[in-house]
Structure 1
Amino acid sequence: MNQPSSIGSVQMASLFLFFMTGSSIVLVPSPLTHEAGAGAWISLLLAWCMGAVYLACILYLYRKHPDLSLVGSSRLALGKLPANLLMIPVVVLMFWNVAGIVSEIGLFFRSTMLKETPTYVVNSLMFVMISLTARAGIVVIARMSALLLAMMVAFIVVVLLLVWNLYEPDFLLPILPNGMGPVLHAAYIVYGFPYSELIVFAFILPLVRREESHKVRKHLYIALSINGLLLMLSVIGSLMVLGPLTGDLKYSLFQLARLIFVREIIERIESIIGFSLIVGFYFKASILLFILVRTVAEWLNLRDEKLFTLPIAFVCLLLSVTTYTQEASLDEMVNVVWPLLNNLCYVLPMLAVAAVTLVRRQSPPDASRSPE
């Protein structure tokens, strides 16, 4: 397999922040507030803590074997055959995950901007873009992320600031009208999406330049903290403006942008926020497709991973137009099934590899070499 170029730790952190925030900031407020009401911020905080624990686990593996991805670490810890079997559900779920992200883009367009455009047209065009982006490599993706991430965050902050006159703090009370049960259920939803998905970065952390590997931990935790802050502001801002309706309205930031009116000078800017949200969807899908292609190539010992980018993207396209055909079924998948699948296919394999690595931490010095 061709050796990919490396990137800096700050660039990896920006990719991590984009991946964690890109689509979740659009989708998270609605199911959170639907389940937990004004206690949604507590659910988000609980889920964020679990994400911090999982980030500590993948950083532990990276610290032990900085040159190995999760594929290599699992082969070293478990042996080649068990590791290859362990990667099957991981790879399968990545296929479904990429397809689900692009399906959400299609549904967003159909619900807000391009109501007469068939979803498969949007999905096809989006897969062309994300496959070309993933094929360009990690260096190009990292360079793109700086500008696009700044643009997305700026638009989100602007929207939250421009609706300040509509804020009603009374909507934040009562915090726990029905006890902790709904809050824990909402925490389960946001834990499954996006925080349990950060496990996939264990496959690309070795792409950080060796001389900057000691900075990765700090930069990734800063990125995770910014992600938690942005989601918290999004949830609280949506609650204070939309109140109980937040749980019934999808794409709450887009709905907030529709309400902006500043002396007939600034109004109806939902297209701008819509553009920034689409950028978030697009970039998260591009990052995950790159990780999927790289993982498949390493798992199957393929020489040139770029040759398989378009075929893998085509399979994901077929999944997106045949599986996620109804908005209600997609919502149920994201809110109910997805956290369970992430636990089984992402979290458990990573925890198993981390546990075995911890037990065998007294391995000989040459054990860090990739197994043949």
Structure 2
Amino acid sequence: MNKRISVSSRQMATLFLSFLTGSAIVNIPAPLTGAAKNAAWMSLWMANGLGMLLLFCILYLHRKYPDLTLIQYSRQALGRVMTVIIAVPFLLIFFDMLADIVGDIGGFFKSTMMRETPTYVFHILVLFTAAMTVRSGIEVMARMFTLLVITIFMFSAVVMLLMIPNYNVELLMPLLPDGFKPVLHGAYIAWGFPYAEMILFSMVLPFARPDQEPLGKFMFVVLLISGISLTLVIVCTIMALGPLAANIKFSLFTLARMIELAEVIERVESVIGLALIVGSYMKASIVLFAINLGLSQLFRLQDERILIFPITFVALLLSLTMFRNDFEFMEHVGTVWPLLITVTGVVPILLLTIVTAFKSRRKQESS
């Protein structure tokens, strides 16, 4: 986890893709369709556009401070006191994010595949695996996640292709039966999950090697790929399930259950279940990596691995106690989370961007 350990621009983009799309490809259709109905894909692209602006700010700060994380360049731009004021809530929302990711995996198993097994079993297994992955370092994560993210996209594409006989294009209409306000509501949800969450990469980008390949170009391409893939999943879900798409939480898993071709290819939902688990595991690993790095830098620790298992234990307790039922979880993700991450995460990024731009301009004028 030393900064001398680095990954290429392509590997960093792969980490970014696994973070943005890994769990969202299974989870995003239901809440977005519930809010915006058939115009859910419009909400997604509105949030994607805002994500491009946020990514521009993150890459601008990375270009100005190429070897520093947000905690480190905040000390240079704002001072120690302001850094603590910004960093504490900034890192706390990552704890919330990690608990939500693990809780989602437990909820998936409890509601679909292994209903008699206590959820803490799944939480412990996922968090322990993520902790061991983080201890292995970002190079191992980048190499392994490249293969896993390809597997997720391949499984999802196969399911959507096999569902072609069940699609009904007429279900995509009407587009805006209740006006444009539901689209804004959907954009609010999609902004919180997954696009505003990219602020986490302000902690990870310094590990990208300064090579000849343009990191910014790859990151924006990944953002477009994420938007296209999530749009395809949303549209396919609506064409297959119609109004029911808003009421089924793991809609891609349900699509896989519906596949039945010549009594030979059927009951393939296990591959989508695997995609959800793998996608959430990759995202949880990246979040745990950022939390550990941020706390180590905030407290100026020499051994950056010493906090991995304590952080994992705290995340386990949060995942088991934060929500009493799925309704509270969905209420938090759809209503509270977008506002929370905007105030505690996006606003500090914008503040640092403005301060850095102002200081750079003043320095140029004085020179």
Task: Give the Å deviation of 1:364.
Answer: 5.8
Q: Distance between the aligned counterparts of 1:167 and 1:185, measured in 2?
A: 26
- Does the aligned pair in 2 maintain the 1:168–1:240 contact within 8 Å? yes
Task: Give the Å deviation of 1:345.
Answer: 1.0
Where does residue 249 of structure 1 map in the other structure? 248
- Does the aligned pair in 2 maintain the 1:105–1:278 contact within 8 Å? yes
Where does residue 269 of structure 2 map in the other structure? 270
SS of aligned partner of 1:288: helix
Q: Distance between the aligned counterparts of 2:186 and 2:348, measured in 1?
A: 24
TM-score of the two chains, using structure 2 as the length reference: 0.97
Aligned-residue sequence identity (percent) comes to 45
TM-score of the two chains, using structure 1 as the length reference: 0.96
Moved more, 40-49 or 2-11: 2-11
Task: Give the Å deviation of 1:265.
Answer: 1.2
Q: Distance between the aligned counterparts of 1:239 and 1:200, measured in 2?
A: 31
Q: Distance between the aligned counterparts of 1:204 and 1:7, measured in 2?
A: 10
Q: Distance between the aligned counterparts of 1:241 and 1:36, measured in 2?
A: 17
**Does 2:302 match 1:303?**
yes
Q: Give the 5 Å matches for 1:206-245.
A: 206-212=206-212, 215-245=214-244
Task: Give the Å deviation of 1:3.
Answer: 3.7
Task: Give the Å deviation of 1:73.
Answer: 1.8
- Does the aligned pair in 1 maintain the 2:9–2:211 contact within 8 Å? no
- Does the aligned pair in 1 maintain the 2:133–2:141 contact within 8 Å? yes
Aligned residues: 364
Give the unaligned 5+ runs of structure 2. none
Q: Distance between the aligned counterparts of 1:321 and 1:73, measured in 2?
A: 35
- Does the aligned pair in 2 maintain the 1:100–1:324 contact within 8 Å? no
Where does residue 171 of structure 1 map in the other structure? 171
Where does residue 355 of structure 2 map in the other structure? 356
- Does the aligned pair in 2 maintain the 1:4–1:138 contact within 8 Å? no
Task: Give the Å deviation of 1:120.
Answer: 1.0
Q: Distance between the aligned counterparts of 1:20 and 1:10, measured in 2?
A: 15
- Does the aligned pair in 2 maintain the 1:4–1:137 contact within 8 Å? no
SS of aligned partner of 2:67: coil
1:206-250 per-position Cα deviation (integer Å, ceiling 9, x unaligned): 1111224x6110110111111111100000000000000000111
Where does residue 105 of structure 2 map in the other structure? 105
SS of aligned partner of 2:178: coil
Where does residue 80 of structure 1 map in the other structure? 80
Where does residue 96 of structure 1 map in the other structure? 96
- Does the aligned pair in 1 maintain the 2:3–2:206 contact within 8 Å? no
SS of aligned partner of 1:174: coil
Q: Distance between the aligned counterparts of 2:272 and 2:104, measured in 1?
A: 16
Q: Distance between the aligned counterparts of 2:175 and 2:117, measured in 1?
A: 41
SS of aligned partner of 2:58: helix
Where does residue 160 of structure 1 map in the other structure? 160
Where does residue 338 of structure 2 map in the other structure? 339
Q: Distance between the aligned counterparts of 1:272 and 1:156, measured in 2?
A: 9
SS of aligned partner of 2:211: helix
Q: Distance between the aligned counterparts of 2:3 and 2:189, measured in 1?
A: 37
Where does residue 258 of structure 1 map in the other structure? 257
- Does the aligned pair in 2 maintain the 1:18–1:145 contact within 8 Å? yes
**1:263 corresponds to which letter in structure 2?**
A
Q: Distance between the aligned counterparts of 2:3 and 2:186, measured in 1?
A: 42
Q: Distance between the aligned counterparts of 2:102 and 2:256, measured in 1?
A: 23
1:169-205 per-position Cα deviation (integer Å, ceiling 9, x unaligned): 1011110000001110011001111100001101111
Where does residue 193 of structure 1 map in the other structure? 193
Task: Give the Å deviation of 1:126.
Answer: 1.1
Where does residue 291 of structure 2 map in the other structure? 292
Give the unaligned 5+ runs of structure 1. 366-372
SS of aligned partner of 2:305: helix
SS of aligned partner of 1:335: helix
**1:138 corresponds to which letter in structure 2?**
I
**1:41 corresponds to which letter in structure 2?**
W
**2:242 corresponds to which letter in structure 1?**
G
Q: Distance between the aligned counterparts of 2:204 and 2:280, measured in 1?
A: 20
**1:56 corresponds to which letter in structure 2?**
F
Task: Give the Å deviation of 1:327.
Answer: 0.8
Q: Distance between the aligned counterparts of 1:363 and 1:293, measured in 2?
A: 35
Where does residue 13 of structure 1 map in the other structure? 13
RMSD of aligned C-alpha atoms? Answer: 1.3
**1:344 corresponds to which letter in structure 2?**
V
Task: Give the Å deviation of 1:324.
Answer: 2.5
**Does 2:327 match 1:328?**
yes
- Does the aligned pair in 2 maintain the 1:69–1:202 contact within 8 Å? yes
The verdict on how the C-alpha distance between 1:4 and 1:110 changes in structure 2, with shifts beyond 3 A counting, is farther
- Does the aligned pair in 1 maintain the 2:38–2:176 contact within 8 Å? yes
The verdict on how the C-alpha distance between 1:87 and 1:203 changes in structure 2, with shifts beyond 3 A counting, is same
Task: Give the Å deviation of 1:140.
Answer: 0.5
Where does residue 64 of structure 1 map in the other structure? 64
- Does the aligned pair in 1 maintain the 2:3–2:207 contact within 8 Å? no
Where does residue 117 of structure 1 map in the other structure? 117
Q: Distance between the aligned counterparts of 1:325 and 1:281, measured in 2?
A: 21
Q: Distance between the aligned counterparts of 1:295 and 1:325, measured in 2?
A: 29
**1:335 corresponds to which letter in structure 2?**
G
Q: Distance between the aligned counterparts of 2:30 and 2:79, measured in 1?
A: 43
